[in-house]
């Protein structure tokens, strides 16, 4: 390979095209290539072009001016979106080691003309819609250098670049080598990419335009793959080129700078031109000689974060090892594989699992760029940032690390944060995710949030900005839009209602309630009603704590609850397992919600319905078990009545499956009920011992699963209680059990409760 490349370096064809007193130089780069960036800067200094043409979407032209001073700190991306449909968008990311980024910086600082010459994104969109048949095949076009590196046996294109290309210390020659390489590659490639041809036609048209303007020195910075297509302008007809790209429809687009993150530039994120490790390339770009040291000290730091010991001495040793390895492998510069091999040996003591964890942290390590608000922003975003600032959460916004917040909404400042987070969630910007509270508090005043920022929020903000320019306005717009649909899904409306309450958008409560009651009237599906009810019950409870007018919700419930309590007893008869499985959770939720604080009227109706269901014999075991438990918990059934009901329900010998489902839902909330209430325990115990051996063996697995909900200590207590009971029985011969049965009891229960001795 090396020999071959030397030979064609010697008969270089010029990448520069000279006509009269004009000169064009083509700089074929690797997107996000640290080596490319360094060479490009040197080459630009040397060539000093008056105009720089960059492979970037033409309709993002106006964003170039912002690349100067402190406005943008990479990684940042240009976001382009269709004006008519915000869901159609694309990002063009840049890092501190992207050659294009430096070309823009270089040009802006020296007041040169800079242009984006690639096909406008508006036209790309329509091309994509036409679904031009593309063969997206190999990584050849996405990253020809990676392709070449792999041929040469490298895993890392940057290391290959350093070894094979960078040896040409004259940056001028480097680009000529690249150009020739690409000409060869394209010649031998059978790859036909229609969009690529159209894009290149556009680039040529732009290049002609720049030449016509009379600039003496024009630099073109583009992906190396395109260099051959721009090399011999004369070989292409200018009218044909124009015609080719003009054939695509132009959609109107808007573009804006947005912060970006390393996570999304990394290859594993699925980004086509992605690099293996952005941090490594950044270090390589800043100072190739110190890159290993920087990487290793970062690795040592991450190791400590993972809770293992590592010292600076380790970092130094790992660095030494990298260089020794590089020498043994006859490479000029270390690459990613050397780094990881050294880390495995020094930091992870040869443990692959540890290495994998460290690799994850190092490769997925985050760095988030920033964009100055003055640069470009939709009004909604300004409002969001204003509100975030008012809530003193600025640090968590655009932060790469999740931030956890515990809120007590009785405090005004916390209430404000809670409202903001709920409003953002309502708008489809899920910055905060509500977490279940740690201690089982019934706190209506506490909320736990985990705040994690994603670059995607930018597009979601733009989508939401369709509805309004401030958070409040957009929220109203969003809900109104939902209600204006011809038939808004009821469950969504109910969920919105709860959200609206939490987000403190009082004015929206009534419209939502009205919509609900209007559409409920025609709704026949009891299951859907059952699913809605708990949300509404919770909403009234929530509204009351926050001193909101919940009369509207109460009215909806007054319409809803009687229908449920009337229809449910009929609905749960003779149903299949699947239906029971899907009804059961909703029923449990409604029961829970009413227990916690439902209106007494609704509560009474619900209890009545449950009593009716208990009377019926065709009800599914899951339902009945849950209902018996609820009636017991509510003290509607006395201990004695519960015990006899339990005994009665379990006595259906023909259908052990029924009994199993019954027990499962009866014990859903744990087994303490069995520990504290002897009669219940006895009823269950005698059922188990009454099973014939065949049944017992057949259902053993299911039985064990049933008891698996019980906690360890519950199991142990229960075991002790059962053993004691037996001893007592032995002492009282009158009640003595037949020996056979006793053995069965002992054997069976011990197995059911898990081998307790073993567990201890």
Residues 517, 521, 524: CA angle, nearest 5 degrees: 125
Closest to another protein by CB, 340 vs 632, is 340
Distance between CA atoms of residues 35 and 41, nearest Å: 10
Q: Does 304 bind another protein (CB under 8 A)?
A: no
Closest to another protein by CB, 127 vs 321, is 321
Instruction: Report the nearest approach of another protein to the CB of residue 328 (Å).
Output: 5
Q: Does 317 bind another protein (CB under 8 A)?
A: yes
Residues 450, 454, 456: CA angle, nearest 5 degrees: 135
Instruction: Report the nearest approach of another protein to the CB of residue 306 (Å).
Output: 16
Among the candidate windows 290-298, 345-353, 399-407, 596-604, which touches another protein by CB under 8 A? 345-353
Instruction: Report the nearest approach of another protein to the CB of residue 296 (Å).
Output: 13
Among the candidate windows 340-348, 413-421, 603-611, 623-631, which touches another protein by CB under 8 A? 340-348
Closest to another protein by CB, 348 vs 461, is 348
Query: Would residue 574 be called left, alpha or beta, if left means φ above 0 and alpha means ψ between -120 and 50 degrees?
Result: left
Taking Cα atoms as reference points, which of 541, 544, 517 lies closest to residue 598? 541
Closest to another protein by CB, 330 vs 635, is 330
Element (H, E) at 219: strand 217-223
Closest to another protein by CB, 313 vs 510, is 313
Give long-range contacts, CB 8 A cutoff, 24+ apart: 611-614: 611/636, 612/569, 613/568, 613/569, 613/572, 614/645
Binding mask of the shown chain, residues 251 to 270, with x at each position contacting another protein by CB under 8 A: --------------------
Q: Does 328 bind another protein (CB under 8 A)?
A: yes
Among the candidate windows 208-216, 258-266, 321-329, 579-587, which touches another protein by CB under 8 A? 321-329
Longest Cα pair distance anywhere in the chain, in angstroms?
122
Closest to another protein by CB, 330 vs 439, is 330
Q: Does 309 bind another protein (CB under 8 A)?
A: yes
Task: For tokens 């015990």, name the residue.
Answer: 643
Closest to another protein by CB, 341 vs 555, is 341
Sole binder of another protein in the list 44, 344, 409, 748 (CB under 8 A): 344
Instruction: Report the nearest approach of another protein to the CB of residue 3 (Å).
Output: 17
Sign of CA dihedral 67, 71, 77, 81: negative
Distance between CA atoms of residues 223 and 99, nearest Å: 10
Closest to another protein by CB, 331 vs 682, is 331
Instruction: Report the nearest approach of another protein to the CB of residue 334 (Å).
Output: 11
Beta strands 113-118; 217-223: pairing state: unpaired
- DSSP conformation class of 404: E
Distance between CA atoms of residues 472 and 470, nearest Å: 5
Sole binder of another protein in the list 71, 73, 167, 337 (CB under 8 A): 337
Closest to another protein by CB, 299 vs 646, is 299
Alpha helix (H) residue ranges in 189-307: 194-212, 227-231, 238-246, 278-286, 291-305
Instruction: Report the nearest approach of another protein to the CB of residue 311 (Å).
Output: 7
Task: For tokens 């009454």, name the residue.
Answer: 690
Closest to another protein by CB, 311 vs 485, is 311
Closest to another protein by CB, 353 vs 735, is 353
Q: Does 314 bind another protein (CB under 8 A)?
A: yes
Residues whose CB falls within 8 Å of the CB of residue 301, separated by 6 or more in sequence, listed in order? none
Instruction: Report the nearest approach of another protein to the CB of residue 588 (Å).
Output: 35
Distance between CA atoms of residues 153 and 439, nearest Å: 55
Taking Cα atoms as reference points, which of 36, 14, 35 lies closest to residue 25? 14
Sole binder of another protein in the list 105, 186, 301, 320 (CB under 8 A): 320
Residues in the chain: 760
Among the candidate windows 290-298, 328-336, 682-690, 740-748, which touches another protein by CB under 8 A? 328-336
Pair 494, 516: CB distance under 8 Å = yes
CA distance readout (Å), 297 to 66, 314, 344, 346, 582: 34, 9, 15, 12, 54
Instruction: Report the nearest approach of another protein to the CB of residue 161 (Å).
Output: 22
Pair 544, 605: CB distance under 8 Å = no
Instruction: Report the nearest approach of another protein to the CB of residue 251 (Å).
Output: 51
Q: Does 330 bind another protein (CB under 8 A)?
A: yes
Among the candidate windows 349-357, 435-443, 457-465, 585-593, which touches another protein by CB under 8 A? 349-357
Q: Does 352 bind another protein (CB under 8 A)?
A: yes
Closest to another protein by CB, 36 vs 326, is 326
Q: Does 345 bind another protein (CB under 8 A)?
A: yes
Sole binder of another protein in the list 12, 68, 324, 736 (CB under 8 A): 324
Q: Does 325 bind another protein (CB under 8 A)?
A: yes
Closest to another protein by CB, 312 vs 492, is 312
Sole binder of another protein in the list 110, 329, 506, 704 (CB under 8 A): 329
Question: Which value, to the nearest 10 degrees, does the dihedral of the CA atoms of residues 61, 63, 64, 69 take?
Answer: 170
Q: Does 350 bind another protein (CB under 8 A)?
A: yes
Q: Does 327 bind another protein (CB under 8 A)?
A: yes
Taking Cα atoms as reference points, which of 201, 682, 714, 259 lies closest to residue 461? 259
Taking Cα atoms as reference points, which of 443, 402, 450 lies closest to residue 425? 450
For residue 322, the number of C-alpha atoms closer than 13 Å in the C-beta half-sphere is: 26
Q: Does 349 bind another protein (CB under 8 A)?
A: yes
Beta strands 113-118; 51-57: pairing state: parallel
Classify residue 234 as exposed, middle or buried by CB count within 10 Å of its CB (0-12, 13-18, 19+).
exposed
Among the candidate windows 229-237, 346-354, 642-650, 664-672, which touches another protein by CB under 8 A? 346-354
Helix 551-571 with 600-615: angle, nearest 10 deg: 0
Q: Does 346 bind another protein (CB under 8 A)?
A: yes
Among the candidate windows 78-86, 341-349, 573-581, 680-688, which touches another protein by CB under 8 A? 341-349
Distance between CA atoms of residues 291 and 282, nearest Å: 8
State yes or no: cis peptide before 75, omega within 30 of 0. Answer: yes
Beta strands 16-19; 22-29: pairing state: antiparallel
Token pair, residue 285, equals 């770009």
- DSSP conformation class of 391: T
Sole binder of another protein in the list 23, 150, 242, 341 (CB under 8 A): 341
Size of the site for another protein (CB under 8 A): 24
Instruction: Report the nearest approach of another protein to the CB of residue 344 (Å).
Output: 8
Q: Does 473 bind another protein (CB under 8 A)?
A: no
Instruction: Report the nearest approach of another protein to the CB of residue 348 (Å).
Output: 8
Closest to another protein by CB, 150 vs 385, is 150
Interface with another protein (CB under 8 A): 309, 311, 313-314, 317, 320-321, 324-325, 327-330, 337, 341-342, 344-346, 348-352
């Amino acid at each position: 390979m090396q020999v071959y490349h030397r030979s064609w370096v010697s008969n270089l064809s010029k990448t520069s095209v000279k006509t009269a007193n004009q000169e064009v130089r083509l700089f074929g780069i690797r997107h996000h290539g640290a080596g490319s960036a360094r060479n490009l800067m040197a080459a630009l200094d040397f060539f000093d072009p008056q105009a720089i043409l960059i492979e970037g979407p033409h309709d993002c032209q106006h964003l170039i001016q912002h690349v100067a001073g402190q406005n943008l700190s990479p990684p940042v991306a240009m976001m382009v979106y269709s004006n008519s449909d915000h869901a159609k968008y694309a990002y063009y990311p840049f890092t501190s080691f992207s050659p294009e980024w430096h070309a823009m910086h270089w040009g802006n600082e020296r007041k040169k003309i800079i242009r984006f010459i690639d096909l406008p994104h508006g036209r790309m969109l329509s091309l994509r819609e036409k679904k031009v048949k593309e063969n997206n095949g190999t990584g050849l076009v996405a990253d020809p250098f990676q392709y070449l590196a792999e041929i040469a046996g490298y895993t890392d294109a940057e290391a290959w670049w350093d070894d094979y290309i960078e040896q040409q210390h004259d940056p001028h020659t480097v680009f000529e080598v690249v150009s020739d390489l690409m000409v060869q590659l394209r010649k031998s490639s059978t790859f036909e990419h229609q969009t690529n041809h159209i894009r290149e036609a556009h680039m040529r048209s732009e290049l002609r335009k720049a030449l016509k303007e009379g600039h003496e020195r024009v630099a073109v910075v583009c992906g190396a793959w395109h260099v051959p297509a721009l090399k011999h302008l004369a070989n292409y007809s200018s009218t044909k080129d124009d015609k080719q790209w003009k054939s695509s429809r132009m959609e109107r687009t808007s573009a804006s700078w947005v912060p970006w993150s390393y996570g999304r530039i990394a290859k594993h994120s699925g980004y086509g031109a992605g690099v293996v490790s952005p941090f490594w390339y950044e270090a390589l770009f800043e100072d190739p000689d110190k890159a290993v040291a920087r990487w290793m000290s970062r690795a040592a730091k991450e190791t400590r974060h993972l809770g293992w010991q590592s010292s600076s001495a380790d970092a130094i040793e790992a660095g030494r090892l990298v260089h020794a390895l590089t020498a043994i492998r006859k490479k000029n510069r270390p690459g990613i594989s050397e780094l990881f091999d050294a880390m495995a040996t020094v930091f992870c003591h040869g443990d692959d699992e540890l290495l994998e964890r460290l690799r994850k942290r190092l490769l997925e390590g985050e760095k988030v760029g920033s964009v100055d608000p003055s640069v470009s922003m939709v009004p909604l975003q300004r409002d969001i940032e204003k509100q975030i600032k008012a809530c003193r959460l600025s640090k968590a916004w655009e932060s790469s690390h999740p931030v956890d917040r515990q809120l007590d909404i009785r405090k005004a400042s916390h209430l404000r944060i809670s409202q903001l987070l709920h409003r953002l969630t309502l708008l489809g910007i899920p910055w905060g995710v509500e977490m279940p509270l740690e201690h089982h508090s019934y706190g209506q005043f506490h909320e736990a949030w985990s705040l994690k920022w994603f670059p995607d929020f930018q597009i979601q903000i733009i989508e939401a900005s369709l509805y309004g320019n401030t958070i409040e306005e957009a929220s109203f717009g969003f809900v109104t839009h939902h209600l204006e649909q011809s038939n808004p899904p009821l469950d969504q409306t109910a969920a919105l209602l709860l959200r609206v309450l939490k987000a403190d958008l009082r004015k929206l409560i009534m419209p939502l309630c009205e919509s609900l009651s209007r559409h409920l009237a025609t709704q026949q599906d009891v299951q859907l009603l059952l699913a809605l009810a708990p949300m509404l019950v919770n909403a009234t409870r929530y509204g009351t704590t926050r001193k909101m007018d919940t009369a509207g919700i109460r009215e909806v419930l007054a319409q809803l609850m009687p229908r449920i309590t009337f229809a449910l007893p009929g609905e749960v008869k003779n149903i299949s397992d699947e239906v029971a499985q899907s009804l059961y959770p909703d029923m449990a939720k409604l029961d829970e919600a009413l227990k916690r604080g439902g209106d007494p009227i609704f509560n009474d109706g619900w209890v009545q319905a449950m009593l009716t269901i208990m009377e019926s014999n065709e009800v599914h075991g899951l339902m009945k078990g849950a209902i018996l438990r609820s009636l017991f918990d509510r003290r509607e059934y006395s201990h004695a009545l519960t015990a006899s009901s339990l005994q009665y329900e379990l006595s259906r010998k023909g259908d052990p499956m029924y009994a199993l489902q019954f027990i499962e839902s009866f014990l859903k909330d744990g087994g303490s009920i069995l520990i504290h209430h002897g009669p219940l325990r006895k009823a269950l115990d005698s059922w188990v011992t009454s099973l014939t051996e065949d049944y017992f063996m057949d259902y053993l697995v299911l039985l064990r699963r049933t008891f698996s909900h019980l906690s360890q200590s519950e199991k142990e207590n229960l075991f002790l209680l059962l053993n004691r009971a037996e001893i007592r029985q032995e002492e009282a011969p009158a009640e003595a059990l037949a020996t056979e049965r006793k053995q069965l009891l002992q054997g069976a229960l011990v197995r059911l409760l898990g081998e307790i001795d073993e567990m201890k």
